[in-house]
Amino acid sequence: MAAPRRRIASLADIHQKENPTLSLEPLSNLREESFEQPDCPLVLKPKPLRDFRSLPPGQMETRDLISLYWQDVAAAQSLKEPERGSLTVQLGYNAAKGHICVKVLEGQNLPALDDLSGKSDPYVTVQAFPFDVFEGSAAKIRTTATKRRDLRPVFMEMFRIRCRPSAITHDKGGAILFTCYDYDFLARDDMIGEAVHLLPGTNEVKNESEVDCCDVITLPLLLPSQPSCSSCAYAELERRTISDEKALEFIESRKKAFKMAENERS
């Protein structure tokens, strides 16, 4: 065993002579330098996903894609001027009853779409999204009364929509779509504009009368447009229409709105 030890030492000496600029440090020193960093953990644990938006669209549930779509619409809506007038509303969440109280107050500065009268006959529809956080009631469209020949209609109508708490508290919560139309007796109704309001953060109320104390929200009425190809949520929902009934229903309703908006622009 002594001969191999001498051979190893000899090879080390030869290597040091041929490479005088290299210095061999003791292995113990290298180990101390490698581990003397308490702020840097040896094993990096993956961070939990706090935002469902960080998931690829293909891995999202359909309801999450619908929530993401409305979040994008609301973000774009906040940057635009009310090109078709505006709508004021109040909302409150009655946890004891398990429903959202939506109060449509009034419209302001609506466009005149009736050439004969120089006015409009506006009414507002209220629809909740996505479907499953509203216990199947999202498909039901609630409608206000029609106000004849009025560009500043006062509605003051309350609607109650049953929903799960996740519609209010979760980042994948619900949204309310308000669409204002001009009633036409002989032809199809014209779209005045639409606006979306996201429900997370809605004030909780103990009874319906407390809704009157909630903030008055002014929503700009806009004509919707077909999302660009960069809209990952909408594109993924379109891909699912072949096999997903909820995605199909949602895309069909949006395409109908886009077509009505294009007719108004032309």
The structural domains of the chain, with segments of one domain joined by +, span: 58-265
CATH architecture of 58-265: Sandwich (2.60)
**Does the predicted model carry a pTM greater than 0.75?**
yes
> Residue 55 has what pLDDT?
66
Distance CA 165, CA 199 (A): 11
Local structure of 241: helix, strand or coil: helix
> Residue 102 has what pLDDT?
96
| Paired strand residues for 39 | none
| DSSP, res 159 | E
Residues in the chain predicted with pLDDT less than 70, given as ranges, are 1-55, 115, 135-139, 171, 229-231
> Residue 251 has what pLDDT?
95
CB neighbourhood size of 61 (10 A): 14
Cβ-proximal residues to 47 (8 Å cutoff; 6+ apart), any chain: none
> Residue 137 has what pLDDT?
60
CB neighbourhood size of 238 (10 A): 17
